[in-house]
Amino acid sequence: MAPGEVPSKAVPTFLEWGAIFAGAVLASALSFVLLTFGTAIGLSATSPWPNSGLPARVIASLAIFWTMAQQIGAFMAGAYVAGRLRARWLEAPQDEVEFRDGLHGGLVWAVGIVIGAALLMATAGSVARTGAELAGKTALAAAATADPMDLVLDTMLRPTADASKRAPAPATTEDPRPQVSRLLTSAVSSGSMSEPNRTYLAQLVAQRAGISQEEAAKRVDEALTGARQAADKARRAAILTGLVTAISLMISFAAAWWAAMKGGEHRDNAVPARFAFDRRLRVRP
């Protein structure tokens, strides 16, 4: 080695992936733990009995708040660790040091999202099967996972109390629900239902429910209105979920950038990294 040459190990790299992956794994683990904890608290606040538990809107608001808070907090913790673990740059100006620390926090955010997406895709099938089993065992899970279209079809095809006095429905082994569901879905997506389809549905409902053609046509109109309301509710829920997710991710990115810079500042100033209870556990001489 020539005199004055700096060993290669002493020269820090621009990106230190070890610190980045360490912070991302920590952020993913904390997010999972906090999300599980929030789910348990949310289930404990609900109740199938009337006038028990918190209102649905309050629970939804708390769920949105907790989802954002746990994600932001987890990324802040992981980014702070990444900034603290990154090697110190002595020759770079302070602005450049802060930028590189913040960049490591942003990469913790990016890698953490990739890890979360991979875990979500890997466990999607298992979660779906588990959810189906729970839905078959508990009424609450069944109500949470039910298709809104099923309730519309049940209401439209339900026989009346005096159906036995009317002409019996023709014997058939074919279930009309899939066909009726397709016609209603097509009408909702296109914005209107053609008159032949409406007449056919009214005849089918009149036969299956044992009611008059006029009553059946009224049921078809009510079912179409209910299907549109269910579709609009699902659309608004999807929009709200997308907005909350996007806003939470943007805020968590900024929080991770700031936390990594703060971790780098504590690293450069040799600020001791202790938990709040460390000082209480220290034995005084």
In this predicted model, which residue has the larger pLDDT, 278 or 270? Answer: 270
pTM over 0.85: no
Residues 6 or more apart whose CB falls under 8 angstroms from that of 231 comprise 188
CA distances from residue 122 to 29, 41, 115, 128 in whole angstroms, order as listed: 16, 26, 11, 11
Chain centroid, CA 242 distance in Å: 9
Average pLDDT, the chain: 75
Q: Cβ atoms within 10 A of the Cβ of 34, count?
A: 17
In this predicted model, which residue has the larger pLDDT, 275 or 44? Answer: 44
Percent of the chain with pLDDT over 90: 16
In this predicted model, which residue has the larger pLDDT, 4 or 240? Answer: 240
Grade residue 102 by pLDDT with cuts at 50, 70 and 90. Answer: very high
State how far the Cα of 89 lies from the Cα of 72, in Å rounded to an integer. Answer: 27
Q: Cβ atoms within 10 A of the Cβ of 32, count?
A: 14
Indicate the residue type of 43.
Answer: L
Tell which residue, 152, 162, 158, has the closest CA to residue 221. 152
Grade residue 24 by pLDDT with cuts at 50, 70 and 90. Answer: very high
Grade residue 242 by pLDDT with cuts at 50, 70 and 90. Answer: confident
Range picked from 5-19, 141-155, 168-182, 243-257 for highest mean pLDDT: 243-257
Quote the pLDDT of residue 163. Answer: 47
**Domain layout of the chain by residue ranges:** 15-145+245-269, 148-229
Find the mean pLDDT for residues 172-183.
Answer: 71
- Length reported for the chain: 285
Residues 189, 191, 194, 199: is their CA dihedral positive or negative? Answer: positive
